[in-house]
Amino acid sequence: MPFRVPLKEADYDKTLMSALLDAKDVHGAGKAVVEDPDRKPMTYKTLVLAAHVLGRKLAKTTEPGEAVGVLLPNVSGVAAVFFGLQTTGRVAAMLNFTSGPKNLLSALSIAKIKTVVTARRFVDQAKLDDVVQALSEKATIIYLEDVRAKLSAADKVAGAARATLARRFVGPAKPNDPAVILFTSGTEGTPKGVVLSHRNILANIMQVRAYISLSPDDVLLNPLPVFHSFGLTLGTILPIMLGMKTVLFPSPLRYREVAKMLKDTKASLLVGTDTFAMGYARASDPTDLENLKLVFTGGERVKDETRKAWAGRSNAIVIEGYGATECSPLISGNPFEDNRPGTVGVFMSGIEHKLTPVEGLPADHGRLAVRGPNVMKGYLLASNPGVLQPPEEGWHDTGDIVTVDENGFITIRGRAKRFAKIGGEMVSLAAVESLAAGCWPEATHVALAMPDPKKGEQIILVTDRADADRMVLIDYAQAEGVPELMVPRAIMVQREIPVLGSGKIDYVTTAAMVKELRSVM
């Protein structure tokens, strides 16, 4: 394994296309870097060629700097489209095809997207005909099958020439120009557009490279969608830039198929959320995981039950990190050599942080804000479409309440919006969920704060544990020395807990479901 590389500004003060060509020069044009279930690897040479051919065609109906919607799953073609847009200075707006027509139309409006690139095969398989029909009323839909069918011999020759002379055709973009627009998951409200520059994304990749040893011999399996910052930056762009192969898989929910791909591709690295990681562990046989050495998780707290599931099946280490779309995404991670379960590790190189005290919480708890080269250029908001709202003085308010110990290890205590105020006391909903997870470790739990006429708020626990009983939870809390204030007032059992395409709990939908159920009770 290579030694750790210090963070150098020169490594990320460039455009994505320039960085791709640098990686091609370092690792060789024939190195395979992208693969999908079709098992037809793309080398640096074929990726650069495909990017220039597609980029030239897409440029005919778009303008430099324009946001172009990308509605595609995790397959090799999405990498070609993504870098194709970069070749001509377009901005890739990654659309969440699981979010429904309303949120997608909102994304088109927020980012002023006039063109959407997709594929008929994907639309058919994912049953997105109604979604695409709705989008077609606001934007031009370009199907990749049509682009390929219309490629002339002259197009192919021109694309090949541009790829051969790629340094002369890196596009008009500058390192600090927008490269990508992602859309927040809307777990707690209306989604926003997050604008990331070339520099932001490359800085985060270099931060990861400085924090953990990775080798070009590593193979990373990425089942996380590319409309999610974790799946795009860490699961797709990072391995390409560092000379590794990324194996893209189109759905994180096909647990057994993902486990089989781990075996077939001899993947050494896997990325996912806790929910998905548990699914893969349960669906896998020990032989599926023989080559796996690291499972990097983020997006939600890793439960003890997930770690136990992996420990019983594999020698791979489950590492928990922490990030935000606005930070490209990684903010912190547990070091491979000093993995501390329960924490999200230490801050990435180059990140400043500050904690703001929160009324009602202990003095060592604070609302976290961060600043660094990976922090976004700004938001695009529905209230002012297309107009960038940069973070004030470069600081991003994460909205998370954390503690940081004397060694720099961070523990997430909860979201600022995910605290209940009961009789003047602040209670972390994340802590309530942890209490329930301790009592019923194999179930999924969501704690919500609801209005209470006497105490201001009350806590409702939604769980998929069929026999969940409040008295059992009270007894467990007493045995653990947890104050009764943290025990939810009521428990609602649901067969399924709503989740987003990224794997995170969908708190908005869950809260709406609870309100509806309470209204008819």
DSSP 395-446: -EEEEEEEEE-TT--EEEEEETTSEEEETTEEEEHHHHHHHHHHHSTTS-EE
Cis peptide before 329 (omega within 30 of 0): yes
Distance CA 345, CA 441 (A): 23
Q: How many of the other CB atoms lie within 10 Å of CB of 333?
A: 25
- Comparing C-alpha atoms, which of 509, 485, 484 is closest to residue 497? 509
User: What is the CATH code of the structural domain delimited by 418-519?
Assistant: 3.30.300.30
CA 406 to centroid of chain Cα atoms: 29
DSSP 217: T
Structure tokens at 260: 């089989």
pLDDT score for 169: 79
Distance CA 245, CA 226 (A): 16
Distance CA 290, CA 267 (A): 9
In angstroms, the Cα distances linking 495 to 407, 462, 520 are 42, 10, 19
pLDDT score for 6: 67
pLDDT score for 185: 64
pLDDT score for 455: 66
Q: How many of the other CB atoms lie within 10 Å of CB of 106?
A: 20
pLDDT score for 301: 86
Q: Which residues contact residue 110 at a Cβ distance below 8 angstroms, ignoring those fewer than 6 apart?
A: 183, 191, 192, 193, 380, 381, 382, 385, 386
DSSP 499: B
Element (H, E) at 107: helix 100-111
pLDDT score for 424: 61
DSSP 362: -
Give the CATH class of 9-404: alpha beta
- What pLDDT digit, counting tens, does each position of 239-248 carry? 999 999 999 9
Sign of CA dihedral 273, 252, 76, 104: negative
Phi-psi region of 394 (alpha: psi -120 to 50; beta: other; left: phi over 0): left
In the chain, CATH 3.30.300.30 sits at 418-519
Amino acid at 93: A
- What pLDDT digit, counting tens, does each position of 130-176 carry? 999 999 999 999 999 999 999 999 888 888 888 888 888 788 899 99
In the chain, CATH 3.40.50.12780 sits at 9-404
Structure tokens at 458: 């009350």
> Which of the residues in the chain have pLDDT under 50?
1-4
